[in-house]
Amino acid sequence: MTVAQIYESFVEPPKTEVPAMPQGADFPLDQANVFPREGRCRVVIENCAPQIDGGRHSIKRTVGERIVVEADIFADSHVLLSAVVKYRPADQPDWSESPMVRLKNDRWQGEFAVTKIGEFLYTIEAWVDRFKSWRDDLRKKIAAGQNVDMDLMAGTQLIKEASLRASGAAAERLAEWANTLSAGDPQGELALDETLNKLMMQNSDRTYVSSPASCLRVRVERERARFSAWYEMFPRSCSPEAGSHGTFKDCENQLARIAKMGFDVLYLPPIHPIGRSFRKGKNNNPDSQPDDPGSPWAIGAAEGGHKAVHSQLGTLEHFHQLIERARLVGIEIALDIAFQCSPDHPYLREHPEWFRKRPDGSIAYAENPPKKYQDIYPFDFECEDWRGLWVELKSIFDFWISQGVRIFRVDNPHTKLFAFWEWCLAALKQEQPDLIFLAEAFTRPAVMYHLAKIGFSQSYNYFPWRNSKHDLTTYFEELSQPPLVEYFRPNLWPNTPDILPEHLQVGGKPIFEVRLILAATLGASYGIYGPAFELCEDRPLKAGGEEYLDSEKYEIRKWNLDAPGNLADLIERINRIRHENPALQSNHNLKFHPTDNDDLIAYTKSTEDGADIVLTIVNLDPYHTQSGWIDLPAEAFLGDAAKTYQMHDLLTGARFIWHGRQNFVELDPRYSPAHIFRLRRHVRTERDFDYFM
């Protein structure tokens, strides 16, 4: 996209041209404003789903997923209707279609699958089906013993008309059918033949078809936008020597270990030069020492800004090598984009108009009273040169995309203009449809969800503070149901460099295990602030706060990743379970199940075909053994004949035989705080006792 094109797109984000729908859609009036342009379109289509804000925003899917489309479809009188879902990639002119079926009353349903990355359009067409109505009346009259000669003549005419609409073999077959039927069919055997019915459906008379006034949209992303496991690591802390600044080469040496644990995204905090003015010292001390490295989020120094690399990490060439080495072990590098500057950033000198001034003329630093961030200057998105600012910020993404980055974690997007994000992300995805954006949006629900609507692929969320059974159940029931499940993809993080939740401070290793299992099984995407989580880092800066003591944000840490009690083996096992069980790779299939103990939470995920069913039971109490009865409607998963079924614990390898709906569990957090069961139909054998090993 050229700069001129970018400027032209400021008023509205780039949009796909939507073709005009057939006359009669929503009954638009003719120029005389007296009659509809086509008043014989009798079908009404209402309450289409899924759609977001009346079609203002796209729903989201990944390649290969299905979209189940529903609508209220009805017409006057007792005529029968037919309806189809029409769909196509936005960059192709030809429509495909799939039939819709009537569910209950006037609710109809159809579906289609999306087959490539990009944007798809979909809509509904419905019409009075004269042949279907005729066929229904004929069946009733024959059953009542009435004479149907006149009806057969009418049906013959409908078939002849269809033969003229058809082509090739279908036209010939319909013409033959009309001739045969005209010779007589008093029992209706020919008229009610299913082959004829299918041919007539394929060549139905759609002269007076109805359709919504505009198309709906689906944004299709690659699988990693739906299913991923993220590992966050500070490159400067990767050196094998204590006190030494790590490099990209040191990061390369960690790739095999991270890949072995099963992570597919390695997220790096900002890798740019760090400002020296007002640099923060250890533990966020405003008085830094000469050897303090500063916060990576204080971006920019004399050496460069957002398009430069911190010299102690290496060069751009070293970064390219890291990306390639990561790719070879199945890992993608995600880069942090933080639109803010240190006082030393070149932008302050080159474009002071992009920053807000205080009454004394100085540039305003970031504040969240009573907190002050003198080392960070936010951009002023309301400045006079907002167009120039927008173009430059987009160019930062463009630069790192040209370096090979395809995944971005965006810092605090809710503190920047929504209009900017809608424009910027749409333009970027138009040029590079495979991009993925994670919003670090710890903010109010409406704001968080709006960011998802306008282009972010995934989002941080309230998981770190949802601890009780009630809170977890109500929150994830909300996230896994329409409308949120249609566009909001949560990425569950039990900790971040900014957040050490209180329960991780006091629950010991068992609570880290609990939160890991919850994050990895409740959500299709999750992440950990790696070394700190692996080693169960639980020391807060002060009681009642969520900042880490000796936070890695302000100093280089030397992590002993082989220390006793580390979680590497459990993490590897969990990620292997996620990859081997498709049920855990989606968010829409989550169901909670009753337990008689509020310290036990139980939920299933299953694939649509029922081939993979996973039941997770977690003891939320990290201190005590908890037991209770689980009410699991196994017949809904395995069929009425499933009086006994096998439960394979994927964490321990143990197998159990369960009976009926209610079964007993006991979980000791000292050994394992959870079961991750895969349900299987059970055929009783003489070796049943083996299942209780």
Domains of the chain with CATH codes? 19-129+208-220 (2.60.40.10), 131-202 (1.20.58.80), 274-304+340-378 (no CATH), 590-692 (2.60.40.1180)
pLDDT value, residue 28: 55
pLDDT in tens, 422-451: 999 999 999 999 999 999 999 999 999 999
Give the 3-state secondary structure of residue 154. Answer: helix
Q: Is the peptide bond before 582 cis (omega within 30 degrees of 0)?
A: no
Using CA atoms, how far apart are residues 376 and 338, in angstroms rounded to an integer? 11
Q: Nearest CA to 519 among 464, 478, 596?
A: 464
Kindly report, residue by residue over 36-45, the tens digit of the pLDDT.
667 889 999 9
Cβ-based burial of 180 (10 A; exposed 0-12, middle 13-18, buried ≥19): middle
pLDDT in tens, 101-132: 999 999 999 999 999 999 999 999 999 999 99
Q: Does 359 sit behind a cis peptide bond, omega within 30 degrees of 0 on the bond before it? A: no
Residue 317: which H helix or E strand, with range? helix 316-328
Return d(Cα 80, Cα 210) in angstroms, integer: 14
Q: How many other CB atoms are there within 10 angstroms of residue 290's CB atom?
A: 6
Range of weakest confidence among 16-20, 482-486, 585-589, 619-623: 16-20
Which residue in 283, 226, 129, 116 sits closest to 524, CA to CA?
Answer: 226
Residues 94 and 41: beta-carbon distance below 8 Å: no
Residues 6+ apart with CB under 8 A from 60: 218, 219, 220, 221, 225, 457, 486, 487, 489
Q: How many CB atoms lie within 10 A of CB 284?
A: 14
For range 298-327, the mean pLDDT: 98
DSSP 535: T
Cα(445)–Cα(450) distance, integer angstroms: 8
C-alpha span between 678 and 660 (Å, rounded): 16
pLDDT in tens, 578-600: 999 999 999 999 999 999 999 99
In tens, the pLDDT along 216-228 reads 999 999 999 999 9
Q: In a 3-state reduction of DSSP, which class is residue 127? A: strand
486 vs 18, residue with greater confidence: 486
CA 494 to CA 511: how far, in whole Å? 10
CA dist 381 → 56, 275, 352, 390 (Å): 24, 22, 13, 8
Contacts of 154 (CB under 8 A, 6+ apart): 134
∠ CA(124), CA(222), CA(637), 5° rounding? 70
Contact 579, 524 (CB under 8 A): no
261: left (phi over 0), alpha (psi -120 to 50) or beta: alpha
The whole-angstrom distance between residue 229's C-alpha and the CA centroid of its chain comes to 13
List of residues 6+ apart from 418 with CB closer than 8 A = 450, 451, 454
Nearest to 205 by CA among 130, 95, 100, 123: 130
Catalytic residue numbers?
A: 411, 440
Tokens (6 digits) for 650: 């994927």
C-alpha closest to that of 299 among 260, 272, 334? 272
Query: Closest Cα to residue 282, out of 554, 540, 638, 671?
Result: 554
Query: Cα–Cα distances in Å, from 691 out to 172, 678, 682?
Result: 63, 13, 11
pLDDT at 13 over 60: no
Q: Is 83 exposed, middle or buried (0-12, 13-18, 19+ CB in 10 A)?
A: buried
The angle formed by the CA atoms of residues 523, 527 and 533, to the nearest 5 degrees, is 125
Percent of the chain with pLDDT over 90: 83
| Residue 684 DSSP code | -
Going by pLDDT thresholds of 50, 70 and 90, the confidence category of residue 192 is: confident
Q: What is the pLDDT of residue 380?
A: 97
Chain centre to alpha carbon of residue 647:
29
Residue 332's Cβ-count burial label (10 Å; 0-12, 13-18, 19+) is buried
pLDDT band at 35 (very low <50, low <70, confident <90, very high): low
The token pair that represents 500 in the structure block: 């050490």
* Mean pLDDT over each residue of the chain, to the nearest integer: 92
pLDDT band, very low/low/confident/very high, at 182 (cuts 50, 70, 90):
confident
Determine contact, residues 407/224, Cβ cutoff 8 Å. Answer: yes
Maximum mean pLDDT: which of 179-188, 251-260, 640-649: 251-260
Q: Tell me how far CA of residue 183 lies from CA of 136, 149, 172, 177, 179, in angstroms.
A: 21, 10, 17, 10, 7
- In contact, 579 and 614? CB cutoff 8 Å: no
- The pTM of this model reads 0.92
Closest CA to 295 of 274, 265, 268, 309: 274
Q: Residues 465-499, buried b or exposed e (16+ Cβ, 10 A)?
A: ebbebeebeebbeebbeeebbbbbbbbbbbbbbeb
* Residue 679 phi, psi dihedral angles, 5° rounding: -85, 140
Sign of the CA dihedral with 367 first, then 368, 371, and 373 last: negative
Compute CA distances 358 → 195, 345, 365, 579, whole Å. 79, 18, 9, 53
Do 409 and 438 touch, CB atoms closer than 8 A? Answer: yes
Q: Which helix (H) or strand (E) holds 316?
A: helix 316-328
Residue 639 pLDDT class (50, 70, 90 cuts): confident
Asked whether 452 and 415 are in contact (CB, 8 A), the reply is no
**pLDDT at position 29, please?**
54
Distance of CA 550 to the CA centre of its chain: 34
